[in-house]
Amino acid sequence: MFINYAHRGASEYRPENTMSSFQLGIKMGANGIETDIRRSRDGLLVLFHDDTLKRVTGESGSVSDYTYAELSKFNVYDKSGKYTDKIVLFEDFLKAFSPTKLYFAIELKEKNCEEEVLDLLEKYNMREKCTITSFCFEYIKNIKKLDCRYKTGFLCDAPDEEKISDMKSIACEEVCPKADLINKENVALWHGYGFNVRAWGVADTNLMERIYDLGVDGMTVNFPDRLEEYKKQR
């Protein structure tokens, strides 16, 4: 099944990685949500993309410098500055969305989150409906060591033979290549290896349409409405 992942929610239109962004993504027809995991100073897992708070909240420092109580006072702004929302706890996200039919891409942004992410995913019966991803191969390797029943995806550019072999060695299920590096030949190659192919870095509608037509199995988009519209035309 093709998955239209609302990337950090419908982040083109709402503050990324917040409830309003996820909810709008669902309303626009996304059948998946992608989000990013970090840890607060008091050890709670929260949804946040950047290394620092500056770009989306205007605050100084990083998520790890603040307790969740402190983080929850900050506003997260959308691109236009028109909408604001709050930083979300991973567990609250799971409470809200695990009962749905959505599929999830959970990206590990920091080390030492693997065990707790798995505990929470188990608690909310998420095993069959998520893929745990990272740009850091070690993190997904650790996931497989802890529980090989969880699907993993490796975020990369376009993997060379060495990376492919690393992925095979841990039975990683999904290659997540950068969208503008995808072509007909490498999609066929990766499918031939048995990987699911899910793109990231879909910067605009033209790229979205091109890789959709190449037969990828899913992509993360900031504008899930445009992808839904295109799917209807094909």
Write the burial class of residue 114 (CB in 10 Å: 0-12 exposed, 13-18 middle, 19+ buried).
buried
Main-chain phi, psi angles of 176, to 5 degrees: -120, 85
**Toward Ca ion, which CB reaches closer, 85 or 107?**
107
Is residue 38 at the binding interface for ligand G3P, with CB under 6 A as the rule? no
Assess contact for 10 and 222: CB atoms under 8 A.
yes
**Residue 45-84 contact track with ligand G3P, rule CB under 6 A, x = bound:** ----x-----------------------------------
Tell the smallest beta-carbon distance from residue 200 to Ca ion (Å).
Answer: 7
Answer for which of 36, 78, 85, 225 binds Ca ion (CB under 5 A) is 36
Tell the smallest beta-carbon distance from residue 158 to ligand G3P (Å).
Answer: 14
The binder of 85, among ligand G3P, Ca ion, none, by C-beta within 5 to 8 A per type, is none
Q: Which 3 state secondary structure label does DSSP give 1?
A: coil
**Toward Ca ion, which CB reaches closer, 20 or 42?**
20
**Token pair in block for residue 120:** 């929470």
Q: How far apart are CA 40 and CA 63, in angstroms?
A: 5
Q: Spell 197-211 as b/e; 16+ CB within 10 A means b.
A: bbbbbbeeeebbbbb
**Toward ligand G3P, which CB reaches closer, 70 or 137?**
137
Question: By the criterion CB under 5 A, which residues form the site for Ca ion?
Answer: 36, 107
Question: By the criterion CB under 6 A, which residues form the site for ligand G3P?
Answer: 7, 34, 36, 49, 107, 155, 200, 220
